[in-house]
Amino acid sequence: MPQNIFVLTGAGISAESGLGTFRDKRGEGIWAKFDPMKLATPEAFARDPEAVLAFYDLRRRNLLNAKPNAAHFALARLEDALGKRDDSLTLVTQNIDDLHERAGSRRVIHMHGELLKARCGRCEAVRRWLDDLTISDICPNCCDAGALRPHVVWFGEMPLALDLIDQALRKADLFVAVGTSGAVYPAAGFVAEARAYGLRTCEINLEAADNADLFDEQRLGPASETVPAWVEELVGGSAE
C-alpha cells in the first residue's frame, strides 16, 4: 500500500465540469480554436493586452459558473484519508481553476498559476481577483495602473514551485497523472523523474497520453468514474 502519493492533474480532470481541455485527438481543444502564441505568452500581452485579458476574462467567467466533479471530490477524500493514517498526498495541478479547492482539497500546488488571482507586473503583488481585468485597472498594492495581469504562467515563463514539486516527488512511493496529455514540459517530464526516483507510476486518462509508455499502469475512462474508483480501491476499506 503506497504511503506518499503524488498526483499530477491536468485539464482532463475538469473537462466534465465544463471547462475545455487544450488538446485532444479530435482536434477540438482550446488551442485548436485559439493560437496560444497570440494569447498565452508575455510577448502577446505586451503586443495586445486587451485580447489577452479578454481571453482570460471569458475563462474566468466560465470558471465562476463551473462546479467540481466527482474526480475532484475523490482526491479531496484521498487527502483526508491519507492524512488520518499519517500518510500524505501531494496534489500538483497544471490547472488554473480552483475546482480542487472547492471540492475540499486543502493543499494544492498550482504550478501554472491561478485564474482567480491577479498579479501586478510592477510590484509583483498577487491578490484574489474575480472580476474582468482591464488595462486601466489599478494595483491595490502599489496603486500603479496598467500592469495587472492574470496570475497564470504563460509559455516562455517558469512554472511555479518546481523545487517543492521535486522534493515531494523524491519522497513519494506512487506517481499518478490524471487527465493530462503529457505534451507540456516540465510537467510532462515528472513521470520520467518519478521512475528515476523509483516510484511506481499510474496514468488515469480518457485516452493514452503522449508519454503513456512511461507508466506502469493505465486506467482509461472519464475521470469522474476512474478517479473515484481508484480512490475507493485505495482507502475504501480503511477507517476514514
Q: Which residues are catalytic?
A: 112
Residue at grid coordinates 516527488:
169
Would you state the cell numbers that stand for residue 146, as one nine-digit string?
496598467
Task: At 186, give phi and psi (nearest 5°).
Answer: -85, -10
Q: How far is the CB of 218 from ligand OAD (least distance, A)?
A: 12
19 touches ligand OAD by CB under 6 A: no
Binding mask 84-123 for ligand OAD (x = CB under 6 A): ----------x-----------------x-----------
Contact region for ligand OAD (CB under 6 A) — 4-12, 97-105, 124-132, 164-172? 4-12
Site for ligand OAD (CB under 6 A): which residue of 5, 7, 8, 11? 11
180 touches ligand OAD by CB under 6 A: yes
Return the closest-CA partner of residue 90 out of 155, 173, 13, 147: 173
Site for ligand OAD (CB under 6 A): which residue of 17, 90, 105, 181? 181
Instruction: Using DSSP bridges, classify how beta strands 108-110 and 88-93 pair: parallel, antiparallel or unpaired.
Output: parallel
Distance CA 209, CA 205 (A): 7
**Bridge partners of 219?**
204
Binding mask 36-65 for ligand OAD (x = CB under 6 A): ----x-------------------------
Site for ligand OAD (CB under 6 A): which residue of 172, 209, 214, 235? 209
29 touches ligand OAD by CB under 6 A: yes
Please return the burial class of 121, using the count of CB atoms within 10 Å of its CB with bins 0-12, 13-18 and 19+: middle
Q: Which is nearer to ligand OAD, 40 or 82 (CB)?
A: 40
17 touches ligand OAD by CB under 6 A: no
Q: How far is the CB of 72 from ligand OAD (least distance, A)?
A: 12
Q: How far is the CB of 195 from ligand OAD (least distance, A)?
A: 19
Q: Which is nearer to ligand OAD, 50 or 207 (CB)?
A: 207
# of chain residues touching ligand OAD (CB under 6 A): 26
12 touches ligand OAD by CB under 6 A: yes
**Residues making contact with ligand OAD (CB under 6 A):** 10-12, 15-16, 21-24, 29, 40, 94, 112, 153, 155, 179-181, 183-184, 205-207, 209, 222-223
